[in-house]
Amino acid sequence: MEDSTSINQAAHTFTARRTEMYRSTDTCAPTPLLQQLSLRLLALPQLSKLELAIIKTKRQQDTFSSLFHHHSLTLPNILTLTLGPGLQWLIPHCPNVRTITSDPYSRHSSLPGAPSGSNWHLDLVHAAGSAKHLHHLEVDDRMSAPLLLRHITTSVPHIGSVGTFSGRWENGIDRLFPLLKQLRELRTLALADVADLHVGYEPPRCGNVFLGPGGDEYRQQLEEEKGRAVRYVGRKVFERLEGLEECWVGNWDRAVVRRGKEGSVMDVAWERGWRFGVVHKSRFGG
Q: Which amino acid would we find at residue 224?
A: E
Domain ranges of the chain: 14-21+29-280
pLDDT at 166: 59
Given a contact cutoff of 8 angstroms between Cβ atoms, the answer to whether 165 and 188 are in contact is: no
In Å, what is the CA distance from 207 to each residue of 213, 215, 216?
13, 10, 11
* Assessment of whether the complete model's pTM goes beyond 0.75: yes
pLDDT at 10: 46
pLDDT at 207: 78
pLDDT at 20: 36
Non-local CB neighbours of 108 within 8 Å, separated by 6+ positions: none
3-state secondary structure 135-176: CEEECCCCCEHHHHHHHHHHHCCCCCEEECCCCECCCCCHHH
pLDDT at 256: 97
Helix (H) or strand (E) holding 58: helix 58-71
* Strand partners for 248: 190, 254
Name the stretches of the chain with pLDDT < 50.
Answer: 1-10, 17-29, 278-286
pLDDT at 85: 85
Q: Which amino acid would we find at residue 81?
A: L
pLDDT at 118: 63
